[in-house]
Amino acid sequence: MRKISIVIADDHAVVRQGTRSLLEREKDLEVVGEAADGEEAVKVLEQLRPDVAIIDIAMPKLSGVEVTRQIKPHCPSTAVLILTAYDNDEYIFALLEAGAAGYLLKDVDSREVVEAVRAVHAGESVLHPVIARKVISRLTSSAAKVSEEKPAVELSEREIEVLKLAARGLSNKDIATKLFISKRTVQGHLGSIFNKLNVGSRTEAVFQAVKRGLLSFKELP
């Protein structure tokens, strides 16, 4: 089975080394590159196009927010996982707007980092549902204007159902149980949604759907 490729971007060498050591203990994970500042991160990510990018917010030259903004248009399939010490809402909002798929604090348990990498690679969110709903609520105020600027995208009724449950933070397995379909079918629907919206994670998909007028905050469970 192909390993999940990962790039770590953090200006602290000890953090990069510790994170690499943690991840490479897992048989299905492989760190393929590192970056010590924002500009280097953009270059490495665009060159290697990994499955997952673990990025800090506070880095020299370019912040994690700017790195995410720059790479997502070129590497839409790379899931961005933020690993940082900052937890304020403004950072969360800016990063999710930029296309980040997950957001963790550096004091989390090591197993949570490993599982988060697998989760964002599978298109699942590692955000707390309350945080996700808060951001979606703020996005709805400008949803109409943005949706006029975006090309029309159509999602099927089933895809909308899957997306609504994803917005609640349900795993693929839980969504499958809720809709009486297989986990593989859920993955297929999410894959179709990601392709249509040109995103790499369920978090991005929910926000893009709201911005394009495909979902409204009131419609979410």
Task: Check whether residue 39 and residue 81 sit in a common domain.
Answer: yes
For residue 187, the model assigns a pLDDT of 87
Q: Answer for the pair 82, 100: CB distance below 8 angstroms, yes or no.
A: yes
**Torsions phi, psi of 55, nearest 5?**
-125, 135
Query: For the domain that residue 79 is a member of, what is the CATH number?
Result: 3.40.50.2300
Is this structure's pTM higher than 0.75? Answer: no
For residue 131, the model assigns a pLDDT of 60
Q: Where a domain ends, among 95, 121, 147? A: 121
**Which residue do the tokens 């109409």 mark?**
144
Q: For the sheet containing 4-9, what is the strand order? A: 29-35, 4-9, 52-55, 79-84, 102-105
Q: Answer for the pair 26, 114: CB distance below 8 angstroms, yes or no.
A: yes
C-alpha dist (Å) from residue 137 to 77, 82, 133, 177, 215:
26, 21, 6, 27, 11
- Does 115 fall in a domain? yes
Q: What is the pLDDT along the chain (221 residues), one digit of tens a residue?
A: 789 999 999 999 999 999 999 999 999 999 999 999 999 999 999 999 999 999 999 999 999 999 999 999 888 889 999 998 887 777 887 888 788 888 888 888 888 899 899 988 887 777 654 566 666 666 655 554 544 555 567 888 899 889 888 877 778 888 899 999 998 899 899 889 988 888 877 777 877 787 777 876 565 54
For residue 13, the model assigns a pLDDT of 93
Task: Check whether residue 12 and residue 91 sit in a common domain.
Answer: yes
Task: Check whether residue 74 and residue 107 sit in a common domain.
Answer: yes
For residue 220, the model assigns a pLDDT of 55
Query: For the domain that residue 154 is a member of, what is the CATH number?
Result: 1.10.10.10
Number of structural domains in the chain: 2
- Does 139 fall in a domain? yes
Q: Where a domain ends, among 94, 121, 148? A: 121
Task: Check whether residue 25 and residue 114 sit in a common domain.
Answer: yes
Task: Check whether residue 73 and residue 168 sit in a common domain.
Answer: no
- Does 185 fall in a domain? yes
Task: Check whether residue 8 and residue 112 sit in a common domain.
Answer: yes
Find the length of the chain.
221
Task: Check whether residue 115 and residue 154 sit in a common domain.
Answer: no
- Does 126 fall in a domain? no
Which structural domain range is residue 53 located in? 4-121
Task: Check whether residue 152 and residue 111 sit in a common domain.
Answer: no
For residue 68, the model assigns a pLDDT of 93
CB atoms within 10 A of CB 77: 15
Task: Check whether residue 89 and residue 189 sit in a common domain.
Answer: no
Q: Where a domain ends, among 121, 149, 172? A: 121
CB atoms within 10 A of CB 1: 5
Return the closest-CA partner of residue 193 out of 212, 168, 180, 173. 212
Cα 37 to its chain centre, rounded Å, is 20
- Does 127 fall in a domain? no
